[in-house]
């Protein structure tokens, strides 16, 4: 009999995000706190997500082993992508492309004042509010700088020539695989009120790819 490995939730223990982890060591304390918060939310939701996903796979006559192989493939090959419009001007009198070339840094909206989404990177703004919710207030403690704030991209599952979310920029950067280990994910946009229900980490994407995606609620 095939074992329903999805329906066997992993023990919920201490968060695995630790400051001494080599991949995370370069992050600030606020950034590590944000990942710890996401990790805790994901682990709390994981048992329910696995049960729901197992039921959906059963109805679709899809083997759990096939799903697990697909998730393994995503973990190995999917990459985080950052889109940008190269000719835009932000708070500086140079284009995005020039700034990237000169500084070698991809900056967030709190630094650039640029976005194809919500231009609300200020205290009490929409972006500021959803970041407080998603990351448990990690970026709202004393001493946190604008440069520590999150940068937003997409998980590239299919190699489209114009990238996974071209409306956010005609150009894009494909990040190194190890970046995924210090990234959080959500289905649809981070501004969505249900984003907190769809959080995931790279090593546990069930909350991202489970029945929440298929439900029409």
Taking a C-beta distance cutoff of 8 angstroms, is the pair 13, 159 a contact? no
Phi, psi of 125 (to 5 degrees): -70, 170
Taking a C-beta distance cutoff of 8 angstroms, is the pair 141, 110 a contact? no
Taking a C-beta distance cutoff of 8 angstroms, is the pair 54, 4 a contact? yes
Q: Which tokens sit at 75?
A: 């973990």
Q: Are residues 35 and 48 in the same domain?
A: yes
Q: Are residues 63 and 11 in the same domain?
A: yes
For residue range 99-140, list pLDDT tens digits in order. Answer: 999 999 999 999 999 888 778 899 999 999 999 999 999 999
For residue range 55-83, list pLDDT tens digits in order. Answer: 989 999 988 889 888 888 888 888 999 99
Ranking 20-34, 96-110, 149-163 by mean pLDDT, the lowest is 20-34
* N residues, the chain: 217
pTM for this entry:
0.78
Q: Are residues 69 and 173 in the same domain?
A: no
pLDDT of residue 130: 92
pLDDT of residue 154: 92
Q: Are residues 71 and 87 in the same domain?
A: no
A 10 A CB-CB count for 156 gives: 18
| Inside any domain, residue 216 | no
Tell me the pLDDT band of 3, cut-offs 50, 70 and 90.
Answer: very low
Number of domains in the chain: 2
Q: Are residues 113 and 13 in the same domain?
A: no
9 lies in which domain range?
Answer: 5-76+201-209
pLDDT of residue 124: 93
Core vs surface per residue 201-216: b (16+ CB within 10 A) or e: bbebbbbbbbbbeeee
Query: Over pLDDT 90: what percentage of the chain?
Result: 44
Q: Are residues 129 and 188 in the same domain?
A: yes
């Amino acid at each position: 009999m095939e074992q329903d490995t999805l329906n066997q939730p992993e023990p919920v223990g201490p968060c695995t995000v630790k400051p001494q982890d080599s991949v995370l060591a370069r992050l600030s304390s606020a950034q590590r706190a944000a990942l710890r918060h996401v990790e805790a939310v994901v682990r709390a939701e994981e048992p329910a997500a696995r049960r729901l996903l197992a039921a959906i796979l059963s109805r679709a006559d899809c083997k759990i082993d096939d799903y697990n192989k697909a998730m393994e493939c995503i973990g190995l090959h999917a990459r985080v992508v950052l889109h940008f419009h190269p000719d835009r001007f932000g708070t500086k009198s140079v284009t995005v492309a020039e700034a990237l070339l000169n500084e070698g840094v991809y900056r967030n909206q709190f630094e650039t004042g640029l976005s194809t989404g919500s231009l609300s990177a200020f205290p009490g703004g929409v972006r500021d509010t959803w970041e407080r919710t998603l990351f448990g207030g990690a970026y709202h403690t004393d001493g946190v700088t604008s440069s520590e704030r999150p940068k937003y991209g997409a998980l590239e599952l299919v190699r489209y020539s114009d990238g996974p979310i071209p409306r956010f920029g005609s150009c894009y950067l494909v990040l190194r695989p190890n970046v995924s280990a210090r990234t959080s994910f959500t289905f649809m946009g981070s501004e969505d009120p249900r984003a907190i229900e769809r959080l995931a980490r790279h090593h546990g994407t069930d909350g991202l790819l489970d029945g929440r995606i298929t439900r029409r609620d």
